[in-house]
A and B are shown apart, each in its own frame.
Chain A
């Protein structure tokens, strides 16, 4: 079952079984943000500690499927210690990897049942994603893209809230 093996790669299962940066940080100083997928009940809680434009620490809590939880773990490892600018760039690259199908899952399209025209995906530098590239198998399973992007959307929401507050 090649599709299944592509979805559940060893890196993903490893991050699911042994999630990195698991837990919560005291708020304040950390900022807390929740992501929620009402369709399946996946839940992610991020604690973000931003100091001088750098994401100094991040913790991930919550529960859900292997894709949502491993994506959160992989994300935390990838963004920890990076500048906010770098973090946002990484988010953009990750979303580009997912975006072709993510667009077809937007609420508008789901209600009308139309397929997105196959938009030309932005060229994604998979090498720049490191371990995160393991999640590219998810795009073959459109329903699961929301699982993979859950913690990333929460991260963006958290960074936006912090930017607004400062």
Chain B
């Protein structure tokens, strides 16, 4: 990859992302939808192509040279991802899943079903993505667990006034480290510390945080951490569940099939040890290679530099929108500060988010309109949809300026 001077130079970074050379409606593309899915730099694409061209074979099966090499690449990716999040035992604690959603479903359906019974309490928050809500709701319907929610305050932060009362008697706490709607960076260490004091295990949804913040599972106080490759410059089709080894070792399999067993007879099966116990069938090998390349890319740029760059750009965006569109456009979530990330959910006066996004599209600006898979939070905010612009390492001031140009035109169209 191109050597990157410090601090992060988005102009240099952008050249690594081929998709940014695309033009939309005869304008350069302005990609502000990375909270939904990020773009991939050339090294990620090249690593996957190289894998398919030179190494592809199924893993943990063949004894020929390329099969050995494919296995080494796949297991190497596991260790690399583990080190990236500060896992104490990367080899045994990193499970590759389809995405963060499947990782959370794995926790609920394996750990949850084995450990929770009717009346047990699981604590979530009002700002959870459906992926950290629906699996628990299903468990509540099937098993009868009780769900409690940490509320969201008027500024889009978690209201922790009643934390101890809400955690009282809880068996598990599952929280998002960063809101995909509000851009709020939640005080996860504070919550997990309290949760452990109450004897609850902790699940952290890192889908939004891992791509944009320095991640250390010990500092987070997480027992489980779920995230997706495609939001951190990697490919679609692969996600990660990290879990503490003693928890994983005691959990029953999630999906059954090849690769996850020690022994099978016509009467019974013995599962393999973690993490392979949880990886039934041929895994996403090329995607693991791509994810490893994405981790290398993020490491080379530097997560600290990424935080600094995105924080500055978020501040620029919030200030510019406030100054130039403050009367017609509000942005949900906390003001500029240490707990504010680059996710900007916009509400444009009485214009629906769909219409805002449609106008922005004509300016080449890609944003996501809708409820962002967080319908309870949208109800809490009193809106049915927002237009969400989200920032990543390849964005710069000019992207925000085009966003504002487009938002200004919304006023022209809708009067």
Band of interface residues on A: 20 to 34
Cβ of B415 within 8 Å of any chain A Cβ, yes or no, is yes
Partner of A40, one of B25, B359, B385: B385
Cβ of A63 within 8 Å of any chain B Cβ, yes or no, is yes
B369 near A4 (CB under 8 angstroms)? no
Cβ of B355 within 8 Å of any chain A Cβ, yes or no, is yes
B359 near A144 (CB under 8 angstroms)? no
Q: Report the separation of the CA atoms of residues A67 and B359 in the bound assembly, to the nearest whole angstrom.
A: 13
Q: Report the separation of the CA atoms of residues A43 and B375 in the bound assembly, to the nearest whole angstrom.
A: 14
Residues of A within 8 A of B355 (CB): 8, 65-67
Cβ of A13 within 8 Å of any chain B Cβ, yes or no, is yes
B384 near A63 (CB under 8 angstroms)? yes
B358 near A144 (CB under 8 angstroms)? yes
- Binary A-proximity of B1-36 (CB < 8 A = 1, otherwise 0): 000000000000000000000000100000000000
Cβ of A81 within 8 Å of any chain B Cβ, yes or no, is no
| Given A8-B413, A65-B354; A1-B370 close (CB under 8 Å) | no
Q: Report the separation of the CA atoms of residues A39 and B385 in the bound assembly, to the nearest whole angstrom.
A: 10
Q: Taking the nearest CB of chain A, how far is it from the CB of B393, in angstroms?
A: 28
Residues of A within 8 A of B270 (CB): none
Residues of B within 8 A of A147 (CB): 354
B362 near A41 (CB under 8 angstroms)? no
Cβ of B98 within 8 Å of any chain A Cβ, yes or no, is no
Q: Report the separation of the CA atoms of residues A7 and B358 in the bound assembly, to the nearest whole angstrom.
A: 10
| Given A141-B358, A144-B354; A41-B371 close (CB under 8 Å) | yes
A4 near B385 (CB under 8 angstroms)? no
Cβ of A120 within 8 Å of any chain B Cβ, yes or no, is no
Residues of B within 8 A of A67 (CB): 354-355
Residues of B within 8 A of A40 (CB): 353-354, 369-371, 385
Residues of B within 8 A of A66 (CB): 351-352, 354-355, 414
Partner of A43, one of B358, B384, B409, B413: B384
Q: Report the separation of the CA atoms of residues A121 and B131 in the bound assembly, to the nearest whole angstrom.
A: 40
Please list the residues of chain A having a beta carbon within 8 angstroms of any beta carbon in chain B: 1, 3-4, 7-8, 13, 39-43, 63-67, 69, 141, 144, 147
Between-chain CB contacts (< 8 Å), 20 pairs: A1-B362, A3-B362, A4-B359, A4-B362, A4-B413, A8-B413, A8-B414, A13-B414, A13-B415, A39-B370, A40-B354, A40-B369, A40-B370, A41-B378, A63-B384, A66-B351, A67-B355, A69-B352, A144-B354, A144-B358
Please list the residues of chain B having a beta carbon within 8 angstroms of any beta carbon in chain A: 25, 351-355, 358-359, 362, 369-371, 375, 378, 384-385, 409, 413-415
